[in-house]
Chain A
Amino acid sequence: MKKHEAREPLFHIVKRAQIPLYQGILIRVAAIVLALLTCAAVFFFLTQKSPVDFYRSMFNGAFGTERRIWNMAHQMAILLCISLAVTPAFKMRFWNIGAEGQVLVGGLACAAIMFYFRQSVPLPLLWVMMTLASILASMVWAIIPAIFKANWNTNETLFTLMMNYIATQLVAYFINVWVKSGSGVLNPMPDAGLPKLGNAWTLNISVVAVLTVILYIYLRFSKHGYEIAVVGESENTARYIGVNVKKVILRTMMLSGAICGVAGLLIVGGTSYTINANSAGGQGFTAIMVSWLAKFNPLLMILTSFLIAFLQRGTNQVSNDFKMDNSISNIVTAIILFFIIGCEFFINYKLVFRKPSKEDAT
């Protein structure tokens, strides 16, 4: 046999102890810029149109008119709301990917109240009922997997994932119960909608703004928030200091569910006044990415949800302008996400190149 060649690895990967703030920001900005360039290239490949058109169209879609800005802000608010919902659970290392279903169930409860009581109950009371019903329904939906996780350590990722589709079918079921024609479309019930502050979007946006601040304070400064962090970091430590881990899991998932309920309420009671199986529109999944990208910090989530909402509105415009349907929106969003997900690597690790050895094996 030949003598073992001195194949030294070209580089190896070392975990960074700490990275200066500006460097972290720089890496992320670079990733987004690279991602936007890639998107433009993809766009050029698909349409043979100038990338400048692409950027202009995107910007236009997000900021072109006052209405568009409001629309984007609203979309951002809903996304942020769901992201807030999943955050406490994630901080606890409870992989709740069931926000989609929790939002839907909340919206369904809201729609049910609207459907059954809008003619018999005075508006303010109806609003209260809608709110309570949404929150309660989502809480129940969220606490079911939590009970099994807390008591029998049932895999919560898979459990919550399955709950999403049960929720979808539940919505489809009730729509067919309510709409006898079988059309599957529940006519909007704007007469039962939540009150408007200013224009059509301000109520939703203000509610989410308030929620963001509250959740930030809750996680950062409250005893509950501290317990969530300890349970997330180490269940052993939590037990050691006498935290009732089960209780924290249940309580936190109830909170998570409650905020999902608010999102459902805002979507159904505050925006569309109706519901369908697609009312959550995949935002429950997008929210997971928003929360994760922001490192579970509610204030940073304002930024990340803005980024996603901007992408979604912008690419919607692109698909309108260039007759491409919504596929471009998905593709662009995914490309940008991949770049941001990928750049985390360069924030957490650095490549150390080996000093060239005396006898290079090349």
Chain B
Amino acid sequence: MQKQTAIELKGVTKTFGTTVANKNVSLTVNKGEILSVLGENGSGKTTLMNMIAGIYFPDEGQIFINGEEAVIRSPKDAFAYKIGMIHQHFKLVDVLSAAENIILGLRGEGRYNLNKAAQKIKQISEQYGFEINPKKKIYAMSVSEKQTVEIIKVLYRGADILILDEPTAVLTPQETQKLFDVLRRMRDDGKAIVIITHKLHEVLSLSDKVAVLRKGEYIGTIETREANEAILTEMMVGKKITLNIDRLDPVSPEDRLIVSDLECVNRDGVKVLDHIDFTARSGEILGIAGIAGSGQRELLEAIAGLQHIDAGQIIYHDPKTGKEENLRDKTPLQIRDLGVRLSFVPEDRLGMGLVGNMDIVDNMMLRSYRKGKGVFLQRKPPKTLAEKIIDELEVVTPGPSTPVRRLSGGNVQKVLVGREIAASPTVLMAAYPVRGLDINSSYLIYHLLNQQKQKGVAVIFVGEDLDVLLALCDRILVIGSGHVTGLVDARHTTKEEIGLLMTKTEVKHHEEA
């Protein structure tokens, strides 16, 4: 069958300030086909798709839709070309209902008829197998419900080209499976579907073709049936990854942090952490694996004193005095005043770990500004530290007085990790510390974590890449939906086992619900 092209990009380039997000990208998507756009975090997948959806406008290059050159200056233009994008961060208005969100921005008779809209929504839902209550307000919805609203929204507009940005990141395996069924049905319906992802198994199970991006550049497209994980990985990272991370055996590990029966309830009354038990030992890297949003962030924040704890204990064993301290219900300041040297590299680097508009020196001070007597700041020690970190970790920056927001992702992370390590912690927690980083920076971070481990620090590493977790950690704690679903020895486990554990309670949880 002769397939018609739906989208064709030719030489598309987009820069933000000095960063090149996409460089000379060309690719093609046909009707009745699912294309995966594969790439590491920060490889420019989302930016590229945003240009097709009219969020950004390309600096150079052309976009052809259905064979004709198109100028897509706004999402409205994109709709005119029957392009619909489902963003990773849902673009829904909280106080409006599902139906209202779906008809938002549509032309039609002035006075809108929600019943008529609900009718059509129902019809679409039945056609592709969604479940949705059109009258439900968005703020009362679960993540998967919101995603359903997003997808119906573009279908309602008659989109023939659907772009989904990492749609499975927030879904349980069941929900993912359901979504994939829906997408396949749409493909069979003749729609062109682009799915942005960095998960290889999804690419292989779902798509017809795979396009790979690496650092903003287009590497190539191959048919999925000719692809396998090794080939794709190689395209994605440029070379075959043999994760050469050194892993020494822990030296006389001692219990450092004992978390027992930890329970946290979030603002909406949902239990985000439920009976969490584990021990972090000195001289050891404890990995935490799980689907994004399973409670990893809440767990680390609870330990750091940033999250309200509803039940359970966090006991810290002081290696010097041998005393035990309960960290529960303590503020970060109180924890520090107990002499607990807890360092924390949060997931949100520029929104939490660092202040983007401040320079490197002032960011060094975040942890230490209280030091010294008197009401005034001491800028000298942080300046020395900043220079030391820039030097030792090879941070690329014009100087220590450059605002960190102007640094690239990898350098931002070096500054953050460098500062946290400089506090000579006894416990070091790092959430997704290599997300969005290039290979070299990632290895530097692994190296730093290993160094800390050798110094006898209890390292807690929250990761998403199972290969890395398996190669770097000593033990891996798996959590799913706020429960501990397993604790495995990283030296004697397999990816499959962890993958299974990651989805285990999900199943149970789902059946309950």
Contacts and interface: CB of A to CB of B under 8 A. Distances in A.
A–B touch (CB < 8 A): the answer is yes
A332 B306 CA distance: 51
Contacts of A239: 306, 332
B448 interface: no
Contact of B357 (A9, A225, A233): A233
Contacts of A230: 355, 358, 366
Contact of B354 (A14, A237, A244): A237
B513 interface: no
B352 A221 contact: no
A191 interface: no
Interface string A1-21: 001111111001011011000
Main secondary structure of the interface of A (DSSP, over half): mixed
Interface string B93-122: 000000000000000000000000000000
A223 B353 contact: no
Interface in A212-232: 221-227, 229-230
A4 B70 contact: yes
A242 interface: yes
A234 B375 contact: no
A242 B333 contact: yes
Contacts of B130: none
Contact of A17 (B18, B69, B351, B367): B18
B336 interface: yes
B71 A241 contact: no
B24 to A, nearest CB: 16
Given A9-B57, A222-B375, A223-B375, A244 B331 contact: yes
18 contacts: A4-B69, A5-B71, A7-B71, A8-B71, A222-B377, A223-B369, A224-B375, A230-B355, A230-B366, A233-B357, A233-B358, A234-B351, A237-B353, A240-B332, A240-B346, A240-B366, A242-B335, A242-B336
Contacts of A157: none
Q: Ordered nearest first, which 7 A-B pairs have the shortest CB separation?
A: A242-B332, A242-B333, A236-B352, A233-B355, A17-B17, A241-B366, A240-B352
A29 to B, nearest CB: 26
B380 to A, nearest CB: 12
B486 interface: no
A224 B369 CA distance: 10
Nearest to A227: B369
A6 B336 contact: no
A8 B127 CA distance: 38
User: Chain A contact residues (Cβ within 8 angstroms of B): what range?
Assistant: 20 to 34
Given A6-B69, A244-B333, 4 more contacts: A9-B57, A222-B375, A224-B375, A237-B355
A65 B72 CA distance: 63
B370 interface: yes
B348 A221 contact: no
Interface in B360-378: 362, 365-367, 369-370, 375-377
Contacts of B358: 229-230, 233
Contacts of A236: 348, 351-352
B69 A237 contact: no
Interface string B298-314: 00000011100000000
Contacts of B305: 242
B228 to A, nearest CB: 40
Contacts of B73: 7, 9
B511 interface: no
Residue with the highest number of chain B CB atoms closer than 10 Å, among A4, A5, A12, A18: A4
B512 interface: no
Contacts, number: 81
B352 A237 contact: yes
B421 to A, nearest CB: 16
B173 interface: no
Nearest to B354: A237
Residue with the highest number of chain A CB atoms closer than 10 Å, among B336, B356, B376: B376
Given A233-B357, A234-B355, A240 B306 contact: yes
B185 interface: no
Interface string B475-494: 00000000000000000000
Contacts of B352: 234, 236-237, 240
Contacts of B335: 242
Nearest to A12: B57
Contacts of A5: 71
Contacts of B365: 226
Contacts of B341: none
B354 A226 contact: no
A230 B70 CA distance: 45
Contacts of B346: 240
Contacts of A244: 331, 333
Contact of B376 (A18, A222, A241): A222
B418 to A, nearest CB: 16
B107 to A, nearest CB: 16
B123 to A, nearest CB: 27
A5 B335 CA distance: 63
A174 B71 CA distance: 66
Nearest to A230: B355
A5 B352 CA distance: 46
A4 B377 contact: no
Contacts of B362: 226, 229
Given A234-B351, A236-B352, A242 B331 contact: yes
B316 interface: no
Contacts of A226: 362, 365, 369, 377
Contact of A240 (B69, B353, B369, B375): B353
Contacts of A237: 351-355, 366
A3 to B, nearest CB: 7
Contacts of A3: 68
B184 to A, nearest CB: 31
